[in-house]
Structure 1
Amino acid sequence: MKQSLQLRLSQHLALTPQLQQSIRLLQLSSLELGQELEQMLQENPLLERGSEEDAVTPNYTGTDSQTVDTEVGAPAETPESPDSAETDFSSVESERWDKVSSGNASSDDDNEYLFQEPDAPTLREHLLEQLRMMPLSEHDQALAALLVDAINEDGYLDQPLEELAEMLPAELEIDLLELQTALKLVQHLDPLGVGARNLAECLELQLLAQPEDTPQRDMGLLIVRNHLPLLATRDYARLKKNLRCDDETLRAAQLLITRLDPRPGSAFTRIEADHYVQPEVVVKKVKGMWLASLNGEAVPKLRINRMYADILTRNRDSSSQYLSTQMQEAKWFIKNIQQRFATILRVSQAIVDRQRNFFEHGDVAMRPMVLREIADELGLHESTISRVTTRKYMLTPSGVYELKYFFGSHVATESGGACSATAIRALIKQFVAAEEPRKPLSDNQIADILGQQGIVVARRTIAKYRESLQIPAANQRKTI
């Protein structure tokens, strides 16, 4: 084979550190962005938080035909005043942007008192505190505390008493009867039903604690002791036959049981703070138009530290190389933050424009939409739209929604159109809410009703959507 030299010209996209950072910031949630911001503030001395009174956020007020360039709001690169790179978007001179104040709260952490709620007691702490208030011997206190330690977060005793007895040292000579006595003591503690070994016993303990003249209390006890599986499957015909009662009596007993708490320990389960989200976008109706704007609370206020910037301006020798590098990284970070929120705003407004009927009429008016539609409209890649819509939230008059919520599959209609899966779920909820309780709609019946409206959906699809809405099957929804 003869060797030869050839010259070829080609173009390729180089993932510079700045571009990598921009992509990473775009896919972060608001909580993760806050963590990234705190880390950057600690590592880069030239980056600091901006003053609240100078901070403004963009408010998109364009029409359907107007779009916002992704570079809108980029910081000015002026060597004479390096500290001008603030995330205030104030460089945008357009009628589509309105400056709004983000609040008058002081940014001085030393002068701000943050109220911190005290930690609520756990179920174990709550039970042990009650035991300490009782006039019990040290021996009985120890046995009761042993049982409390074996109770799970729902309030149930997982381990059988026989296993607990075998775990105790033989020299203590504690028999099963003593543990049963201690368990009776624990089961009389608050909350009612705690220490039960199964659901039937939990409900029974709560019924026994009610006054004896409570209507249908005895019937309720009879059901939870002997016929709870029949009640769970709503087999009312067999229940009435076994209990020898009429519909009115069974209905009253069922209502009494359903008011009980099947998880008495759940009230002491602590909710983690990361279950809460902060919406990046707020949607409001202004002069008959639905408009998206950034949430000022979610946009970081950043700027270049003036003192270090002045030092860098006066000293241009090699000794200031470190500050020069940190200055460039700070400007990149500020610009990428602005780029992130500008892109989120563009995508959000495009979603609002396409889903206007949803904001007017709710889920039933949701139109089918895929990522490619927004990507083609804004001239972005589908992967970018996917990053923007994941774990980013929109505050609307009807609630908070993840941007991904507005995208979904579609089902064909007889007229040749399409209906979104979200709209079908909303219709299913409406049908179930309006159904006759004694004759709930089956999946086949719901599919037939949708078919009469021109929406062709298979029964198994109805079952899948119903389960995603956590709606029980027809036999589970049946009432007396």
Structure 2
Amino acid sequence: MALHQSLQQKLLQKLSPQQIQLMKLLQVPTAILDERIKEEIEENPALEQGEEGHDEEFEPQDEFEKTEEDFEPDGSQDDYENIDISDYVHDGDDEVGDYRMRDDNYPEQDDNRVIPHKVETTFNELMLQQLGLLKIDEKQKKVAIHIVGSLDEDGYLRREIPAMIDDLAFRQNIDTNEEELSEIILMIQQFDPPGVGARNLQECLLLQLERKPGNDKTTQLAIKVLEKYFDEFTKKHYEKIQRGLDLSDEQLRDIIAQIVKLNPKPGGIVGDQNKGENYVIPDFFIVNNNGKLELTLNSK
């Protein structure tokens, strides 16, 4: 039989008799605990039942508790009556110092400083302002307001005239005809920016060219191109336009350059102008106070 040696590791936990007894006491219900204590006293004569109470000599005493003797003054009563308070109080001591009333975060200059606020004018408001300058009667004014309200954000009048006539008749009880409506549309097409009130892109570009100052030969040729060869121009068939109007290469380049500069969305000009008006609010101010520069933070 061969002998061999091995090493094993075991972890054992053993409870002492006192721990076992303590665990048993903890498991005893409160109602039975008194009986268990009496039984232990009877079985073990060395145990004695103690009484609740405490000795007066061990009563804690407050270390901050003072007796009347501790508060006896060192001097007589006359010493306190002969004190002159005026020696310690001076004129002006009751006033609050300026440094307590001043807040460095809100200097006095902030009270008079005005922060600019951005005020925008919408496209519809701009149209209504110009509408108020027209010399028209009350009925025409209501029709014009309805037409202005029908303009889209690009400044185009997308709705057909018969549809607007029906809207005026059913919603506002206004009886009008196509001729009267067309006259008011022509008035609105003279508003700024040029090109508003157009029914399509061709009419929008023509309105801008017709209102162009100078009305030189290039402008007149550009109007002819848009009136007769608008489809060819949008498709960039420039050779056909050049042959039809007998234009030179230089004239064609000038016409194209002038038409390209026109705005296809005149209603968007108002929105773009408002977007560009961004006020800058400073973070701090530098004030010249009698030749001395003072820097203050903007608290608003």
Tell me the TM-score normalized by structure 2. 0.51
1:162 Cα deviation (Å)?
A: 1.7
Q: Is the 8 A contact 1:193 1:206 kept in 2?
A: yes
Partner of 2:146: 146
Match of 1:205 among 183, 204, 207: 207
The alignment covers a number of residue pairs equal to 175
| SS of residue paired to 2:216 | coil
* Counterpart residue number, 1:226: 228
Aligned to 2:64: none
Letter in 2 for 1:181: E
Whole-angstrom distance in 2 between the partners of 1:252 and 1:106: 61
Equivalent residue, structure 2, for 1:257: 259
Match of residue 268, structure 1, among 267, 270, 274: 270
- Aligned match for 2:217, one of 194, 198, 215: 215
Check the 8 A contact 2:153/2:267 in 1, yes or no. Answer: yes
- Asked if the contact 1:194/1:202 (under 8 Å) is kept, the reply is yes
Instruction: Find the counterpart in structure 2 of residue 195 from structure 1.
Output: 197
CA–CA distance in structure 2, aligned partners of residues 113 and 271 of structure 1: 27
Q: Can you list the C-alpha shifts for 1:299-347, whole angstroms capped at 9, x where unaligned?
A: xxxxxxxxxxxxxxxxxxxxxxxxxxxxxxxxxxxxxxxxxxxxxxxxx
Q: Is the 8 A contact 1:120 1:268 kept in 2?
A: no
> Hey, what's the Cα distance between the residues in 1 that align with 2:274 and 2:128?
24
Shift of residue 242 of structure 1?
Answer: 2.5
Please list every run of at least 4 consecutive aligned residues from structure 1 whose deviation after the TM superposition is greater than 3 angstroms.
Answer: 104-114, 270-273
Q: Is the 8 A contact 1:153 1:269 kept in 2?
A: no
Residue correspondence of structure 1 range 112-151 to structure 2 within 5 A? 113=113, 115-151=115-151
* Cα distance in structure 2, aligned partners of 1:105 and 1:238: 73
- Aligned-pair CA distance for 1:132: 0.9
Please report the RMSD computed on the Cα atoms of aligned residues, expressed in angstroms. Answer: 3.2
1:155 aligns with 2:169: no
d(CA) in 2 for partners of 1:230, 1:109:
65
Higher relative contact order (CA 8 A, sep 6+): 1
> Are the counterparts in 2 of residues 122 and 268 from structure 1 also a CA contact under 8 Å?
yes
| Change in 2 beyond 3 A, CA 1:105/1:231 | farther
Residues 76-87 of structure 1 mapped to structure 2, 5 A cutoff: none
Tell me, in whole angstroms, the C-alpha distance in 1 between the residues paired with 2:219 and 2:142. Answer: 35
For residue 121 of structure 1, report the CA deviation from its aligned partner.
Answer: 1.2
Is 1:124–1:148's contact at 8 Å kept on the other side of the alignment? yes
Q: Structure 1's 213 and 187: CA in aligned 2 closer, same or farther, altered over 3 A?
A: closer
Displacement of 1:161 in angstroms is 1.4
CA displacement, residues 168-213 of structure 1 (integer Å, 9 cap, x when unaligned): 2265321111111110010011111110111110110111112464
* Match status 1:185 vs 2:187: yes
The Cα of 1:126 is off from its aligned counterpart by 1.0
1:194-248 deviation digits (Å, cap 9, x = unpaired): 1011111011011111246423122111112232332233222222122221111
Instruction: Work out the CA distance in 1 between the residues paired with 2:157 and 2:108.
Output: 50
Q: Structure 2: how far apart are the matches of 1:256 and 1:151?
A: 26
Q: Supply the distance in 1 between the matched residues of 2:154 and 2:217 (Cα, whole angstroms).
A: 28
From the CA coordinates, give the structure whose radius of gyration is larger: 2
**Does the 8 Å CA contact 1:157/1:196 hold for their aligned counterparts?**
yes
Structure 1 unmatched ranges of 5 or more: 1-103, 277-296, 299-480
Identity of aligned residues (%): 26
Native 8 Å contact 2:120 2:274 kept in 1: no
* Matched residue type, 2:175: E
Cα offsets for 1:83-121 (capped at 9, x unmatched): xxxxxxxxxxxxxxxxxxxxx996999758462334121
Cα distance, 1:229–1:180 mapped onto 2, change above 3 Å: same
Could you tell me how far apart the structure 2 residues matched to 1:196 and 1:131 are? Answer: 16
- Structure 1 residues 249-292: Cα deviation after superposition (integer angstroms, max 9, x where no partner): 1111112212222111112116898xx9xxxxxxxxxxxxxxxx
Q: Equivalent residues in 2 for 1:452-471 (5 A)?
A: none
Deviation at 1:163, TM superposition (A): 1.2
**Equivalent residue for 1:469?**
none
Distance of 1:264 and 1:106 partners within structure 2: 46
Give distance in 2, aligned partners of 1:192 and 1:230: 24
Q: Does the Cα contact within 8 Å between 2:121 and 2:274 map onto a contact in 1?
A: no
Contact 1:106/1:112, CA 8 A, preserved across alignment: no
Instruction: Tell me how far apart the structure 2 counterparts of residues 264 and 117 of structure 1 sit (CA, whole Å).
Output: 26
